């Protein structure tokens, strides 16, 4: 008897989409930055919802490096480094990202927002507090408060 690996029609494609939700973010961030969107609109805040945060430090390193190496050749003259635009103009949301939380200083504490995604199936309710505590073990209380409450609260006007 042959066993199906994916039994739900389209299930593998759905799971791929869920697991790679952040995959388009580096291109979007790079395009908006190198096309000087944030130079023209310095007060614009962009949010990548449910995209995770652990990948951000590598992207910022690459954006800065590529800009420094190629800005004259590409004729792109920004007022700041790409990583500085990210710090000023971007927020990234995550459901469960222990790696991102452990590396929050490299991501940018001010740039991270926890997402509950309630009531969708991917959320951690009723275990949200447990998941937050598990992810934030060893994290200083002020950083934890910003990442898991204040950043989103201030952005959306709740605080």
- The DSSP-derived string for 37-53 is HHHH-TT--EEETT--S
* Whole-structure pTM value: 0.89
- Domains of the chain by residue range: 50-72+91-159
Which letter does DSSP use for residue 3 in this model? P
Q: Could you read off the pLDDT tens digit of each residue along the chain, which spans 159 residues?
A: 666 565 667 777 888 888 888 899 999 999 999 999 999 999 999 999 999 999 999 999 999 999 999 999 999 999 999 999 999 999 999 999 999 999 999 999 999 999 987 777 777 888 899 999 999 999 999 999 999 999 999 999 999
Tally Cβ neighbours within 10 Å of residue 54: 19
Sheet holding 46-48, edge to edge: 46-48, 90-94, 112-114
DSSP state of 91: E
């Amino acid at each position: 008897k042959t066993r199906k690996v994916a039994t739900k029609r389209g299930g593998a494609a759905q799971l791929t989409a869920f697991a790679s939700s952040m995959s388009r973010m580096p291109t979007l961030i790079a395009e908006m930055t190198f096309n000087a969107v944030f130079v023209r609109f310095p007060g614009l805040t962009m949010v990548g919802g449910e995209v995770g945060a652990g990948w951000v430090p590598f992207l910022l390193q690459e954006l800065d490096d590529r800009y420094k190496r190629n800005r004259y050749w590409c004729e792109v003259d920004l007022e700041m480094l790409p990583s500085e635009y990210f710090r000023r103009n971007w927020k990234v949301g995550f459901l469960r990202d222990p790696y991102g939380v452990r590396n929050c200083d490299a991501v940018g504490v001010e740039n991270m927002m926890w997402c509950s995604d309630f009531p969708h199936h991917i959320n951690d309710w009723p275990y949200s507090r447990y998941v937050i505590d598990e992810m934030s073990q060893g994290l200083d209380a002020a950083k934890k408060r910003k990442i898991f409450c204040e950043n989103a609260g201030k952005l959306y006007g709740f605080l």
